[in-house]
Amino acid sequence: MATQKTLERKVSLITGASRGIGFAIARKLGELGSRVSICSRDPQKLESAASELKRLGISVFAMPADVTRPADIDSFVRRTESSVGPIEIVVNNAGVGYFGPSQEASEADWDQVLDTNLKSVFLMTKAVAPGLIQRRAGHIINIASLAGKNAFAGGGIYCASKWGLLGFTQCVAEDLRAYGIRVSAVCPGSVATEFSPQGTHSGKDVSKMLQPDDIAHTVEMLVTQAPQSFISEVVMRPTQKP
């Protein structure tokens, strides 16, 4: 059955979209008719992702960008709007992890995780908010984590970034609510992606884990809810523990 084009003529910007959750979200929003703008730090993976989306008939703009750099974010937003139109949907998905005892981590480890997972969302919000406010409509969706709610050994830096992201999301939601802009957080448990090069998924049954398409389905729900509805946070778990 053909997908209903509920997002036709809308523009969606997704960070960290060359693979995994970000790519699944870009594909889903594109299938719903949205023009999508994607970024990644890896130009080759980004080009491959853009080619796949285009092969599916999705209108896509792709630009290499490091979301920890304000100049990259400003350029990405500016070029997106000049290439495909005013942004209405923003998905802050880019993220990195550090998993190990906090006392053994370096300051560089801290900076990399907090800058990517938290500061970048602040920078992107500042970049897109003026346009959303002017148009008095839009969605900002931040991909958080159950790690923003649950402590675990070795998760100090990653948990700090996601706890901070949830607090920031809730406050920005109140700041922008009066302008018709909905700001939401999605908090999944472990997702079967390449996100964890240090083997945090070791020993788990990947088939029982959440899949990238599960997160994309949730984003679809958030951006297609009725105008009077505001889902501020979604917590996701697999039906069975992997």
Domains and CATH numbers, the chain: 11-236 (3.40.50.720)
Active site (annotated) includes residue 158: yes
Site of tokens 């080759």: 44
Q: In this predicted structure, what is the pLDDT of residue 46?
A: 98
What is the average per-residue pLDDT within 147-158? 96
CB of 142 within 8 A of CB of 98? Answer: no
Q: In this predicted structure, what is the pLDDT of residue 207?
A: 82
CA–CA distance, 55 with 82 (Å, rounded to integer): 23
210 bridge partner residues? 191
Banded model confidence at residue 241, pLDDT cuts 50, 70, 90: confident
pTM metric for this prediction:
0.94
CA–CA distance, 77 with 162 (Å, rounded to integer): 24
Which one of 189-198, 201-210, 212-221 scores highest in mean pLDDT? Answer: 212-221
Which of 61, 98, 99, 158 is labelled catalytic? 158
Question: Which residues fall within 8 angstroms of residue 103, CB to CB, at 6 or more apart?
Answer: none
CA–CA distance, 235 with 26 (Å, rounded to integer): 20
What is the average per-residue pLDDT within 123-150? 98
Residue 4: burial class (beta carbons within 10 Å; 0-12, 13-18, 19+)? exposed
